Amino acid sequence: MKTIDLRSDTVTKPSPEMRAAMSAAEVGDDVFGEDPTVNELQQVVARMFDKEAGLFIPSGTMGNQLAVKTHTQPGNEIILEADAHIFKYEAGAAGMLSGVITKIIPGTNGVLSADQIDRSVNNLDDIHAAPTGLIALENTHNRAGGTIYPIEEIKKIADVARRRNIPLHLDGARVMNACVAANIKPLEYGKYFDSISICLSKGLGAPVGSVLVGTKPFIDKARYFRKAFGGGMRQVGILAAAGLYALRHNVDKLREDHLKARKLAESISELKSFTIDLPTVQTNIVIFSVKTGTSYAIIDKLKLQGILAIPFSDVKIRFVTHLDVSMDDIDHTISILKKHFN
């Protein structure tokens, strides 16, 4: 029985062509700044977002935490949406590594308004309050179902951040999904954020790595903290080559992932056992709720049929489409759902 793995887009495996690029990569010692393939990747991603410099790092979590550490001082407060990855899925690292506290604000489908953020910034003249040291947004938003942050709201938030003299960071783990779905160039996002972290190992299909971009002084400082966090690697061009291949060959394929997710979501909406908010299915993530029983029971039943998913709560399930799942796989998944849950 074939297994169709819809747990995450992180399960993608390097294609033969990507493996060939990795095998042929020219390498050097990246801690010394001498790996030519890493340097090329950093330059490519920085140019994509019109930033001065980039830094190759092992993971998106490290990218976000380097941004927090580099932008803030211990005792600062950072503003996050309540379901943000930085708050939910990074093991309390902001407090542990940077000594900051988090102010979480419930958004609408992962989106905070500029007014919400403006009202939440602590005034510097209030000696009782932690100074607001960073605002961080997530685009697309994982727990909201892959929703895209409206660009007009981002512009307004950037205005608030600049007026308040607070840096603005983008957790752009899936920002290329947003670019493809909303037809927005990376350069446009680069205008509004002081730093951006982009993941290469989700829908883009590389096995490892993210890139953090920003000004040269910011990246120079982040490079120091990367070493402190244990993220300095040596002949890592073999991994950077996979990232370069992904950016050159796999970005347009994200559109296919979105079509797969939409087809899956629309079929789920017709089933009696589930409910789904179709407007939130904007990219490659499908989150739906079970009407009776638990998500765990449904997931166990799906696993027996070769379909893998993950629970997002006692009653919510997440599917994620990606390079290694074909449209035929989606059709098969739909047939299983109709057979067992209609």
On average, the pLDDT of the chain sits at 97
**pLDDT of the residue at 1:** 82
Whether residue 286 is contained in a domain is answered as: yes
- 283 and 241 both lie in a single domain: no
Provide the residue range defining the domain that includes 161.
Answer: 14-249
Tell which of 249, 266, 293 closes a domain: 249
- 262 and 239 both lie in a single domain: no
- 271 and 296 both lie in a single domain: yes
With a CB cutoff of 8 Å and minimum separation 6, the contacts of 209 are: 56, 57, 58, 59, 199, 200, 201, 239, 240, 242, 243
Whether residue 170 is contained in a domain is answered as: yes
- 60 and 108 both lie in a single domain: yes
- 109 and 147 both lie in a single domain: yes
- 297 and 163 both lie in a single domain: no
E strands present in the chain: 4-5, 53-57, 77-81, 101-105, 132-138, 168-172, 195-199, 210-214, 274-275, 285-290, 307-308, 310-311, 316-320
Candidates 91, 89, 102, 97; CA nearest to 173 is: 89
- 265 and 239 both lie in a single domain: no
- 122 and 196 both lie in a single domain: yes
pTM of the model: 0.96
Per cent of the chain over pLDDT 70 is 100
**pLDDT of the residue at 208:** 97
How many structural domains compose the chain?
A: 2
**pLDDT of the residue at 316:** 98
- 200 and 235 both lie in a single domain: yes
Whether residue 167 is contained in a domain is answered as: yes
CB atoms within 10 A of CB 191: 12
Whether residue 8 is contained in a domain is answered as: no
Does the pLDDT value for residue 126 go beyond 90? no
Residue 328 belongs to domain with CATH number: 3.90.1150.10
Residue 23 belongs to domain with CATH number: 3.40.640.10
Tell which of 249, 281, 298 closes a domain: 249
**pLDDT of the residue at 124:** 82
Cβ atoms of 183 and 189 within 8 Å: the answer is no
Which of the four pLDDT bands, split at 50, 70 and 90, describes residue 342? confident
Whether residue 9 is contained in a domain is answered as: no
Tell which of 227, 249, 271 closes a domain: 249
Candidates 193, 229, 262; CA nearest to 61 is: 229
Cβ atoms of 74 and 99 within 8 Å: the answer is yes
